[in-house]
Chain A
């Protein structure tokens, strides 16, 4: 399996990719990840690659080739469009509908509307789950848990149960953060069932 995660620096893509890799390892597979770290992560576009397989030799390098991702998790709709060429034809995408403004675009005054990207994704990625991450964050009570909501929504696609994700979470997070993140994970999982019909403008799940 190859899963690509993309978003904006600070949205928690690194932890999410580690959790997927941990789940894969716990399930007995060999896993590799590669993430954007350092100067590039200060509010810039970030991409994480996660690959896992029963045989390490089947995934010799940490980077997913273009057109090679079985699943794409988009933390931001514009970033999801940017990374769509990585998705295999027919691959599944889980995308948060809420846009993050680009300070550079704000300066020049042409900040595109997130809905433009969401509309495009609907047409270009038929196997799409849209998630209102902001609404889940509001319910959970923290804007920092978007990563868990998306993971919850993607769990089944990736072949993991929410329970195994929770186990991985406990291994990699300090105990005081687990409860909040568990909530987001479960909200995300619950939302994904009926999420396909979401209307981003109304923000309902």
Chain B
């Protein structure tokens, strides 16, 4: 199927890879990258292998194997996943590939759903690899396609790094004719596949020597364009990724006519184009999310022209950008903008050389990437002056600042001037109603009550166990680190009971390594596996314990308990966390032993289990003690004024949210919480 489709950025990347004839796809789920592999799994390109790997290192290594044999391969992960995969990555640049190998590493400015604000473009510099930085889903499609040919031409992996607002934005993407699927030519033995000090020495020299040629091949991804406002200014905006979209938006909204340098491939930095861009300008603003990569690339080329960006505080160093932030910086740079309309200023003439075009791009390079890129990497259609007039102009009085959410808290432009807006309640993310993790945390908290205990958390929905009232995550670092940190803490703090909470998917990702390390080094700790049979946080992806593959086919099912025993833990216990007494008792038993002990709390994520009959509070018997709400923090539980006793409160359950997990009914001292309409039910089946 081809033609126009409404695609999310991650889906667009999947379509781009499939249309480039990808035949091996691996990855590990991680926001904001997850949907890319899911989309490939849905498309099921004939003859292609699609897998969720146990972690990003495994994903990159398997894909490298396929690419050695000539297959086009895509690996998907988030930016912190690239840290896990950095081990193979840093050698793979030397060894190289035969089939095109594209690594999607999605960055998360904010961060919105990550541990770090790291920038994959820096990693590309570190590894001396090409990196493509799309500014929209439609560009992500074109870049994904082009990346495979680029990888094959230079025999190195190519990084593709969209940020959240590209990954999770949707737009109309025009799919172009797919390339025919090339059958992998097979692995040809040779000494180039075996990394040795001598090979690395030669390979590094080769990588550096080819940089000018690579820069040339990347020209279609970098171009100069001009915005079409009424107010000309001798300033330029150098931008990349979603920053380019915001820059265009800001120029449109301010009615500014200025030069834009769009950097879609920042490594090596397109110096010749940048010099051409800077020529004749008074001032340049660098607009990019995360690190000042473009800004740093420009600095040595400025030749007296002023450069503004993150390093002088004109742009925020952390967090997401917005058009408003850029408008603010532009107003400082172009004083005429501060006056309404600003048309009275004497406009300096812009360079009228033919090099500057509104659709940009040097179309002179005949390589495969340039062909696709030239066709599809043009910025979105230019808007004529007349059309722009019809565009709504943003009132210049809009508050401008760093955080869009914080701005939004301000008074409404629509509000009656005399009335302040009532403050809506804060709503941070929390564990879902009926989440088995809530029950597990509560049970362990009760079991450890009165004893010195440290609770090491890990990465997943259960990181949210840190919030009150549970307050059960004392540490959290990175995937799998809960187990190893608990081991280290115990050795330095021998009186404490050290618990490591880890989800099933994280256990497979890198928890097993830590468990073996703990066993081997005679640690004394308890591993609590929160086995909800899915990868909940990222949207229910299967993993080696689910018995299902990425494309929904049956797969062998790994048994976490058996693995733990094989790794040598002293005991493995299993319990249903929704049976609070049993869960507490099981935890007590484990606490009374020594060595590395494991408790597996088994109950499916509410997103994969059918909800049970909801619970209801018998308000006539509720004494308003608040035990249920204050101990559990279930979002289905709240208070209302008691209909029976004036001035008292009673608990209330939102039946549309409650899954009937029953833990509140087990802890209510008056036993007034019962299944709705009848005495039975309440188990999540």
A33 touches B170 (CB 8 A): yes
**Contacts known (A66-B407, A84-B414, A103-B635); A78 close to B425, Cβ less than 8 A:** yes
Q: Does B362 contact A (CB under 8 A)?
A: no
**Contacts known (A22-B6, A42-B432); A63 close to B412, Cβ less than 8 A:** no
B380 touches A106 (CB 8 A): no
Interface centre among A9, A30, A85 (most CB of B within 10 A): A85
Contacts of B639 in A (CB 8 A): 106, 109, 111
Contacts of A83 in B (CB 8 A): 408
Chain B, range 438-497, C-beta contacts under 8 Å to A: 461, 463-464, 467-469
Q: Does A175 contact B (CB under 8 A)?
A: no
Identify which of B63-71, B391-399, B585-593 touches chain A: B391-399
Chain B, range 325-373, C-beta contacts under 8 Å to A: none
Contact among A57, A67, A79, A109 for B413, CB-based, below 8 A: A67
Q: Does A178 contact B (CB under 8 A)?
A: no
Q: Which residue of B lies closest to A10 (CB)?
A: B432
Identify which of B96-104, B143-151, B242-250 touches chain A: B242-250
User: What's the Cα separation between A84 and B409 when bound, in Å?
Assistant: 9
Q: Does A177 contact B (CB under 8 A)?
A: no
The 0/1 profile, CB within 8 Å of B marked 1, for residues 95-107 of chain A is 0000001111111
Q: Does B517 contact A (CB under 8 A)?
A: no
- The B contact surface, by secondary structure, is loop
User: What's the Cα separation between A57 and B391 when bound, in Å?
Assistant: 11
Contact among A8, A57, A86, A123 for B379, CB-based, below 8 A: A57
Q: Does B252 contact A (CB under 8 A)?
A: yes
B429 touches A107 (CB 8 A): no
Chain B, range 371-406, C-beta contacts under 8 Å to A: 379-383, 387-388, 391-392, 394-395, 398-399, 404
Contacts of B537 in A (CB 8 A): 38-39
| Min C-beta distance of A84 to chain B, whole Å | 4
Q: Which residue of A lies closest to B390 (CB)?
A: A58
Q: Does A124 contact B (CB under 8 A)?
A: yes
Identify which of A112-120, A158-166, A187-195 touches chain B: A112-120
B427 touches A67 (CB 8 A): no
Contacts of B86 in A (CB 8 A): none
Q: What is the number of residues of chain A that contact chain B, defined by CB distance less than 8 Å?
A: 71
User: What's the Cα separation between A45 and B404 when bound, in Å?
Assistant: 13
B635 touches A101 (CB 8 A): yes
| Min C-beta distance of B197 to chain A, whole Å | 42
| Min C-beta distance of B412 to chain A, whole Å | 4
Q: Does B272 contact A (CB under 8 A)?
A: no
Q: Which residue of B lies closest to A120 (CB)?
A: B422
Q: Which residue of A lies closest to B246 (CB)?
A: A61
Q: Does A88 contact B (CB under 8 A)?
A: yes
**Contacts known (A32-B169, A39-B31); A25 close to B6, Cβ less than 8 A:** yes
Q: Does A55 contact B (CB under 8 A)?
A: yes
**CB < 8 Å A-B pair total:** 233
Chain A, range 38-74, C-beta contacts under 8 Å to B: 38-45, 55-63, 65-68, 70
Q: Does A150 contact B (CB under 8 A)?
A: no
Contacts of B428 in A (CB 8 A): 44, 104
B168 touches A37 (CB 8 A): yes
Q: Does A89 contact B (CB under 8 A)?
A: yes
Q: Does B2 contact A (CB under 8 A)?
A: no
User: What's the Cα separation between A21 and B412 when bound, in Å?
Assistant: 26
The 0/1 profile, CB within 8 Å of A marked 1, for residues 25-39 of chain B is 000000110000000
Contacts of B409 in A (CB 8 A): 82, 85
| Min C-beta distance of A163 to chain B, whole Å | 19
| Min C-beta distance of A26 to chain B, whole Å | 9
Q: Does B318 contact A (CB under 8 A)?
A: no
Contact among B410, B413, B423 for A87, CB-based, below 8 A: B413
B638 touches A111 (CB 8 A): yes
Q: Which residue of B lies closest to A58 (CB)?
A: B383
Q: Does A125 contact B (CB under 8 A)?
A: yes
User: What's the Cα separation between A35 and B8 when bound, in Å?
Assistant: 10
Q: Does B630 contact A (CB under 8 A)?
A: yes
**Contacts known (A22-B6, A82-B409, A84-B421); A60 close to B245, Cβ less than 8 A:** yes
Q: Which residue of B lies closest to A32 (CB)?
A: B171
B394 touches A60 (CB 8 A): no
A81 touches B422 (CB 8 A): yes
User: What's the Cα separation between A50 and B258 when bound, in Å?
Assistant: 27
Contact among B169, B468, B469, B638 for A101, CB-based, below 8 A: B638
The 0/1 profile, CB within 8 Å of B marked 1, for residues 117-155 of chain A is 100100111100000000001000001000000000000
| Min C-beta distance of B640 to chain A, whole Å | 9
Q: Does B634 contact A (CB under 8 A)?
A: yes
B629 touches A106 (CB 8 A): yes
Chain B, range 590-634, C-beta contacts under 8 Å to A: 626, 629-630, 633-634
Chain A, range 156-192, C-beta contacts under 8 Å to B: none
| Min C-beta distance of A27 to chain B, whole Å | 12
| Min C-beta distance of A62 to chain B, whole Å | 4
Q: Which residue of B lies closest to A29 (CB)?
A: B172
User: What's the Cα separation between A120 and B395 when bound, in Å?
Assistant: 23
**Contacts known (A42-B461, A61-B246); A85 close to B172, Cβ less than 8 A:** no
Q: Which residue of B lies closest to A87 (CB)?
A: B414
User: What's the Cα separation between A174 and B538 when bound, in Å?
Assistant: 22
User: What's the Cα separation between A104 and B407 when bound, in Å?
Assistant: 22
**Contacts known (A38-B113, A89-B413); A106 close to B638, Cβ less than 8 A:** yes
User: What's the Cα separation between A30 and B387 when bound, in Å?
Assistant: 14
A44 touches B427 (CB 8 A): yes
Contacts of B422 in A (CB 8 A): 81, 112, 116-117, 120
Q: Does A205 contact B (CB under 8 A)?
A: no
B392 touches A88 (CB 8 A): yes
A44 touches B429 (CB 8 A): yes
Q: Does A94 contact B (CB under 8 A)?
A: no
Q: Does B646 contact A (CB under 8 A)?
A: no
| Min C-beta distance of A125 to chain B, whole Å | 5
Contacts of B633 in A (CB 8 A): 103-104, 107
B408 touches A91 (CB 8 A): no
Q: Does B563 contact A (CB under 8 A)?
A: no
**Contacts known (A30-B172, A61-B245, A63-B323); A123 close to B383, Cβ less than 8 A:** no
The 9 A-B residue pairs with the shortest CB-CB distance in the complex, in nearest-first order: A78-B424, A38-B31, A38-B113, A60-B248, A105-B425, A56-B380, A61-B245, A102-B425, A62-B169
- 25 cross-chain CB contacts under 8 A: A9-B429, A32-B170, A33-B171, A44-B427, A44-B428, A56-B172, A61-B165, A62-B165, A63-B246, A65-B253, A65-B398, A66-B407, A84-B412, A84-B414, A84-B421, A91-B414, A101-B635, A106-B639, A107-B469, A107-B633, A109-B626, A117-B422, A123-B419, A124-B412, A143-B656
User: Could you list 19 further interchain pairs (A-B, Cβ under 8 angstroms) beyond the known A106-B638, A123-B416?
Assistant: A34-B165, A37-B31, A38-B113, A38-B537, A55-B387, A58-B387, A58-B388, A60-B246, A62-B245, A63-B165, A65-B394, A65-B398, A66-B398, A67-B394, A85-B413, A87-B414, A109-B639, A111-B425, A124-B419
- The interface of chain B, by Cβ under 8 A from chain A, is 4, 6, 31-32, 112-113, 136, 165, 168-172, 242, 245-246, 248-249, 252-253, 322-324, 379-383, 387-388, 391-392, 394-395, 398-399, 404, 407-416, 419, 421-432, 461, 463-464, 467-469, 537-538, 626, 629-630, 633-635, 637-639, 654, 656
